[in-house]
Structure 1
């Protein structure tokens, strides 16, 4: 299954990206960046850090839904997953990001 980055610009001129699964589902989303170059650096950071299992943090929200974050070497979050109904689903999506994000193509919609 091939994953891809989707780069977008919002109405305020900010840039953000999502890592999408082949079925279009979101695996990971970024913060909003003031510049396109910063968003591109964020995608590069996801590619670099996703190959390192220790950079992922498994989380559980207060309502019991599971999600994960991906952090850079400086411990800054570079991406956050959506909420999943179960820890098993979260873990499967995390494994997909870990296995495929490094080689994900970028689809620039800016």
Structure 2
């Protein structure tokens, strides 16, 4: 079974999404959006960009 995107409204009334793996674990949580339409656009952007995304290690934060 494939993963799925879940749309929901958070406690502040903002529209958000989470990407869940087939085992139900949350893989990704989207930033809050003002509208459901903007939330859906964010999901579509992820679908388009993810196949081409490179993996990069972030530099360690200064102590």
Confirm or deny a common fold (TM above 0.5): yes
Does residue 46 (structure 1) correspond to residue 46 (structure 2)? The answer is yes
Segments of 5+ residues of structure 2 without an aligned counterpart are none
Judged with a 3 Å threshold, the aligned counterparts in structure 2 of structure 1 residues 57 and 34 are, in CA distance, closer, same or farther, namely: farther
Aligned partner of 2:33 in structure 1 is 33
| Residues 60-82 of structure 1 deviation map (CA, whole Å, 9 limit, x = unaligned) | 876xxxxxxxxxxxxxxxxxxxx
The structure with the largest alpha-carbon Rg is 2
The count of residues paired between Structure 1 and Structure 2 equals: 61
Scaled by the length of structure 1, what TM-score is found? Answer: 0.48
Normalized per residue, the structure richer in strand is: 1
Tell me which of the two structures has the higher relative contact order, counting C-alpha pairs closer than 8 angstroms and 6 or more residues apart. Answer: 1
Segments of 5+ residues of structure 1 without an aligned counterpart are 63-110
User: How far did residue 11 of structure 1 move?
Assistant: 2.7
